[in-house]
Amino acid sequence: GQNIDQPTEMTATEGAIVQINCTYQTSGFNGLFWYQQHAGEAPTFLSYNVLDGLEEKGRFSSFLSRSKGYSYLLLKELQMKDSASYLCAVRDGDYKLSFGAGTTVTVRA
Amino acid sequence: IAGITQAPTSQILAAGRRMTLRCTQDMRHNAMYWYRQDLGLGLRLIHYSNTAGTTGKGEVPDGYSVSRANTDDFPLTLASAVPSQTSVYFCASSLDSNQPQHFGDGTRLSIL
């Protein structure tokens, strides 16, 4: 099976930066995804990493180190609307996606 | 509006009953997936289909069946519902197994 770990909860202040870490152990690796999920809604795609390094998309960036089995999602200039759950998902050797339990980020004014 | 549609939005069902959750997409995506989401466990893959006419088992397939008769539809059937199948069910699709998945709005299912 797959083992994907991320913190359960994080709290930060509006305008600040938050980094959500994700570590994984999988049988085969074909990419890592980050999704955002607001309470009661569907997950929405944020970012995708398949090679080592940093991918930047506006206020959100995602980093991957395949040798360390590690990724992080960086949220900059936090806004109240960023309060949500952030899901780390790894695609294994069979191209199936396994999700971590998610990190709930609360942004305070 | 193009996207992925799930029905019903929510359902309360008596244990032992048969139930089919519907999922339709109009994006001509080849791959489709069913997940269940439970508190503290995250999304878990039930079944998937990489292309019309083929299906595969995910992490938690027991008690569920799927079919993929065409590209657009991917229904999930609970043959005889049990309380442990109370969950939020998400259908997703992607252009192919390489691409990001897009999720429907979910079906909230309670088995009593």
Distance CA B108, CA B104 (A): 12
Per-residue pLDDT, A96: 85
Per-residue pLDDT, A103: 97
Q: Is B104 on the interface with A (CB under 8 A)?
A: yes
Distance CA B107, CA B94 (A): 19
DSSP bridge pairs for B110: B12
Block mean pLDDT (10 aa), chain A, length 109 = 89 97 91 96 95 95 96 97 97 86 96
For A70-99, what is each residue's pLDDT tens digit? 999 999 999 999 999 999 999 987 778 899
Contacts of A24 by beta carbon, 8 Å cutoff, 6+ apart = A2, A3, A4, A5, A32, A69, A70, A71, A88, A90, A100
Sign of CA dihedral B47, A48, B102, A37: positive
Distance CA A1, CA A46 (A): 25
Residue A89: closest CA among chain B residues belongs to which residue?
B43
**B46, B93 Cβ separation under 8 angstroms:** no
Choose from B103, B107, B108 for mutation: most chain A CBs within 10 A. B103
Pairing verdict, β B87-94 and A32-37: unpaired
Q: Is A45 on the interface with B (CB under 8 A)?
A: yes
Buried b (16+ CB within 10 A) or exposed e, B27-61: eebbbbbbbbbeeeebbbbbbbbbeeeebeebbbb
Q: Amino acid identity of B41?
A: L
- Cβ–Cβ gap A42/B33 under 8 Å: no
Residue B5: closest CA among chain A residues belongs to which residue?
A42
- Percent of chain A surpassing pLDDT 90: 86
Distances (CA, A) of A96 to A32, A76, B15, B17: 11, 30, 30, 30
